[in-house]
Structure 1
């Protein structure tokens, strides 16, 4: 079987596709590693949040929280969590801002609900004759 003029183009397209899948997986990894930390006034509480918005750490750098009324402390804690979450989403959004294809929601990506296979499946959709060509090569009489 001899090579056709399209063989190199097809190989180049498949190589590009594989590269895009690898980049998508790397982007997902970077997002999953993204965290942000916010500290309340008077260092009453320090909160770390993942890119998915999950609280991963709560610290009390000083004893300032002990002098707060329960309602005040609850408000400070919630505000600090919201600040950390907003910062984590912003940082994760910066990771993907230029790489998202149309129709992909950043929120789904940031919440960890988007699988790279949803954007770039292992076996891309293509017409049957193209799939047949990739699987078996050009065969006389098979076109048309």
Structure 2
């Protein structure tokens, strides 16, 4: 015999699983994001991952040949900083929705928090509720709890 709570429990579990799947998908999308920037005069182009790692540096033109080492260094650094800012901006758009309380977006971005650790495979619940879900309504003595 089913109870009036069966559907509510199923609905809550379905919602929990959906939220967990969305969190894992968001983390996957974040890990694939990059930011790119190009220096003035097209001297250098940099690509940076969402975690801030430089993944590519290109020199689209030969303009860097005419630059002093210090000027080239400054162009590289400022372009990398801009590419990193672009990556963070892209991530912020995706990652700001639905974060649990106390979780900072930067922790997710920098890989210090794993989405699968934020939401356990199974939700926390009292043993009685877990037993009810596993076996149906628990054995209750006649008249107890009424």
* In 1, Cα distance between equivalents of 2:98 and 2:8: 24
* Contact 2:24/2:116 (<8 A) preserved: no
Counterpart of 2:122 in structure 1 is 123
SS in 2 for 1:112: coil
SS in 1 for 2:57: strand
SS in 1 for 2:129: helix
User: In angstroms, what is the RMSD of aligned CA positions?
Assistant: 1.5
TM-superposed deviation, 1:6: 0.5
What are the superposed Cα offsets for residues 93-122 of structure 1, whole Å, 9 maximum, x if unpaired?
Answer: 110112212111111111122212222110
The TM-score normalised by the length of structure 2 is 0.91
The unaligned stretches of length 5 or more in structure 1 are none
Counterpart of 1:100 in structure 2 is 99
What are the superposed Cα offsets for residues 46-97 of structure 1, whole Å, 9 maximum, x if unpaired?
Answer: 0011111111111000111111111111111011000000110011011011
Counterpart of 2:69 in structure 1 is 70
SS in 1 for 2:46: strand
* In 2, Cα distance between equivalents of 1:98 and 1:119: 14
Counterpart of 1:27 in structure 2 is 26
Equivalences for 1:1-144 in 2 at 5 Å?
A: 2-141=1-140
* In 2, Cα distance between equivalents of 1:48 and 1:54: 9
Count of aligned pairs: 143
The unaligned stretches of length 5 or more in structure 2 are none
SS in 1 for 2:73: helix
* In 1, Cα distance between equivalents of 2:93 and 2:49: 14
* In 2, Cα distance between equivalents of 1:116 and 1:3: 34
